[in-house]
Chain A
């Protein structure tokens, strides 16, 4: 069973009354279930927002990790730059991506 946390919430009486009707009608077994399901639905509705936020955090983390790791390439010719980036891509492959291809088939 997943870990649970007890949270006290304050609600308008009107909302509590309406919620009771849903419970009395058997749509939810208790108030906690109603709140849990409502939050899950809200998360689903806002999944794009949640995904965007997660991606923003990932992007910031990536910058924290990589910023300052580079060197000045402004004096390189176009071809030299392309070759250097190619080397970086190969290095990144070895460091990070190669292992994705070594995952056992599920």
Chain B
């Protein structure tokens, strides 16, 4: 279930959180402080982050989710969309990510993983790097 239709919904891929936790860069802070942007996340992203940071950064990540009111929905909610993205040529975990982004009606997926773009053609949401997104907002 997604809240107000007028809000800008985005999904931050795990690489964005990991870079933020590792480097303490301020780019994501700009997004967190923008009240017009709602950030959604799911189990795949959480697991990827926690498996690629040391324990203290993992605890920091938990705080970050709570303090910035990042909305969590389990990816299984969007099971009906999996087949669509599999048929579009998406591979493995990218099927889960793409289904989640469409399911929560995200406008953007923010990622540095260009491999994602090669997986298949997208109509429901746009894939941008963090820099590209920050130029827009």
Contact = CB atoms under 8 A, between A and B. Distances in A.
Given A70-B51, A90-B92, A93-B93, A63 B62 contact: yes
Nearest to A90: B92
Interface string A58-87: 110011001111111110001001101110
A90 B93 contact: yes
B82 interface: yes
A62 B43 contact: yes
Contacts of B43: 58, 62
A92 B57 CA distance: 20
A64 B55 CA distance: 11
Provide the main secondary structure of the chain A interface.
helix
A70 B58 contact: yes
Interface residues of A, number: 33
Contacts of A81: 15, 18-19, 52
B65 interface: yes
Given A58-B74, A59-B65, A90-B93, A82 B55 contact: no
Contacts of A86: 113, 115
B77 to A, nearest CB: 9
A89 B57 CA distance: 19
Contacts of A92: 44, 47-48, 51, 93
A72 B51 CA distance: 9
B128 interface: no
Interface string B66-94: 00000011111001001000100000111
Interface of B: 1, 14-15, 18-19, 22-23, 43-44, 46-55, 57-59, 62, 65, 72-76, 79, 82, 86, 92-96, 112-113, 115
8 contacts: A51-B1, A66-B46, A66-B50, A70-B55, A74-B23, A88-B47, A90-B92, A101-B86
Interface of A: 48, 51, 55-56, 58-59, 62-63, 66-74, 78, 81-82, 84-86, 88-90, 92-93, 96-98, 100-101
